[in-house]
Amino acid sequence: MEVLKQLEKDYLQAFKAKNELAVLVLRQLKTAITNAEIVKKREKLTAEEITKLLRSEVKKRREAIELYQRGGRPELADKEKREIEVVSQYLPPELGEDEIKRKIAEVIKQLGVSGPPATGKVMSAVMKELAGQADGSLVSQLVKAALEE
Spatial separation of the C-alpha atoms in residues 10 and 13, rounded to whole Å: 5
CATH number at residue 139: 1.10.10.410
Considering only residues 148 and 24, tell me which one the structure prediction assigns the higher pLDDT. Answer: 24
Arithmetic mean of pLDDT, 116-125 = 87
pLDDT band at 148 (very low <50, low <70, confident <90, very high): confident
Number of domains, the chain = 2
Q: What is the pLDDT of residues 57-105, one digit of tens each?
A: 999 999 999 999 999 999 999 999 999 999 999 988 888 888 988 988 8
Q: pTM (2 decimals)?
A: 0.75
Are 139 and 100 spatial neighbours (Cβ–Cβ below 8 Å)?
yes
Asked whether residue 108 falls in the same domain as residue 132, the answer is: yes
For residue 66, the tally of other CB atoms under 10 A from its CB is: 12
Q: Of 65, 88, 111, which closes a domain?
A: 88
Spatial separation of the C-alpha atoms in residues 36 and 4, rounded to whole Å: 13
For residue 72, the tally of other CB atoms under 10 A from its CB is: 8
